């Protein structure tokens, strides 16, 4: 088991770099695209709303693998046209195709998360800003967006993990991420332990990410913790009120 690690460990680590790269780039692109789209999605204009709705529904309602095949293999059907447009270099490369697909997919999910966040912004606070005469830009910058991202933060973290894991299918179109290297090593050695090492790598990455994300969340929601500390109750009082609460229930 450890012999395998000595022989193939560096390859698996190369794969981890590839996995992280794919995830980070596609999730970042999606992060940039999703906010304006989420705001447009909330507009009452049907011309904006419906195309975005359709886009979200499609990317959330179909398997990522099918989307990847559609982009990577599907583009082959239009090779002459794409060559003419000077885009063929992009679509012939599995790496770019994976990035494009993952970014489009993640945009759909992040957009939906942000839409929920925008919806949950307490309206009274926005109104208070309006009453102060804040212009729209400032309202978004100072009130709406900070709220939105605070609300959406945990869900966005989940989405990034899903992307990280979902990204493993890039190995199917020959990319050598963790999964890609793992499959290759297995086909050479038929040693099952390579899967366990791969599992370990994924678990380490996700665990570290979860911890980092939680730390960030703690920072973002500082104001909520602070409030709790202000209410100082003497220990005796605290236990007796707790007692009564458990009695009445």
Give 145: exposed, middle or buried? Use CB within 10 Å, 0-12, 13-18, 19+.
Answer: middle
The dihedral built from the CA positions of residue 43, 44, 46 and 49, taken in this order, carries a sign that is positive
**CB closer to another protein, 147 vs 183:** 183
CA distance 195 to 186: 8
- The nearer residue to another protein, 144 or 171, going by C-beta atoms, is 171
Nearer to another protein, 74 or 154 (CB): 74
Token pair for 142: 């100072």
Instruction: Kindly tell me the sign of the dihedral angle through the C-alpha atoms of 199, 205, 208, 214.
Output: negative
Residues that bind another protein (CB under 8 A): 57-58, 60-67, 69-70, 73-78, 161, 165-169, 171-172, 179, 182-183, 186, 190, 192, 195-196, 198-199, 202-203, 206-207, 239-240, 243-244, 246-249
CB of 131 to another protein, least distance (A): 28
Least distance from another protein to the Cβ atom of residue 133, Å: 34
CA distance linking residue 57 with residue 211, whole number of Å: 31
Q: Which residues of 64-86 are buried (b: 16+ CB within 10 A; e: fewer)?
A: beebbbebbeebeeeeeebeeee
Least CB distance to another protein at residue 81 (A): 11
Q: Report the residue number, 101 or 148, with the smaller CB distance to another protein.
A: 101
- In the complex, minimum distance from the CB of residue 221 to another protein, in angstroms, rounded to a whole number: 20
Rounded distance between C-alpha atoms, residue 50 and residue 71, angstroms: 23
CB of 48 to another protein, least distance (A): 21
**Distance, CA of 116 to CA of 111 (rounded, Å):** 9
Closest to another protein by CB, 57 vs 141, is 57
In the complex, least distance from residue 9 CB atom to another protein, rounded to whole angstroms: 17
Tell me which residue of 163, 191, 194, 169 sits closest to 11, measured CA to CA: 194
DSSP letters for 36-94: HHHHHHTSS-HHHHHHHHHHHHHHHHS-HHHHHHHHHTGGGGGHHHHHHHT-HHHHT-H
At its nearest, how many Å lie between another protein and the CB of residue 142?
A: 29
Q: Among residues 47 and 236, whose Cβ is nearest to another protein?
A: 236
DSSP structural state of residue 139 = I
């Amino acid at each position: 088991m450890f012999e395998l690690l000595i022989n193939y460990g560096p390859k698996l680590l190369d794969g981890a770099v590839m996995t992280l790269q794919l995830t980070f780039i596609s999730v970042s692109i999606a992060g940039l695209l999703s906010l304006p789209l989420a705001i447009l999605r909330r507009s009452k204009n049907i011309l904006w709303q419906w195309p975005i709705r359709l886009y979200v529904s499609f990317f959330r309602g179909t398997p990522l693998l099918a989307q990847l095949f559609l982009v990577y293999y599907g583009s082959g059907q239009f090779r002459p046209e794409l060559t003419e447009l000077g885009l063929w270099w992009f679509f012939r490369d599995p790496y770019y195709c994976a990035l494009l697909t993952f970014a489009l997919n993640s945009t759909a999910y992040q957009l939906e998360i942000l839409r929920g966040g925008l919806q949950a912004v307490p309206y009274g606070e926005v109104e208070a800003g309006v009453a102060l005469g804040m212009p729209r830009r400032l309202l978004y910058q100072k009130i709406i967006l900070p709220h939105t991202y605070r609300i959406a933060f945990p869900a966005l973290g989940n989405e990034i993990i899903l992307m990280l894991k979902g990204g493993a299918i890039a190995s199917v179109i020959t990319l050598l991420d963790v999964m890609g290297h793992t499959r290759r090593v297995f086909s050479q050695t038929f040693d099952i332990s390579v899967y366990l090492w791969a599992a370990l790598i994924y678990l380490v990455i996700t665990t570290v990410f979860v911890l980092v994300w939680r730390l960030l969340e703690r920072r973002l929601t500082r104001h909520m913790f602070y409030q709790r500390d202000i209410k100082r109750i003497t220990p005796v009082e605290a236990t007796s009120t707790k007692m009564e609460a458990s009695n009445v229930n």
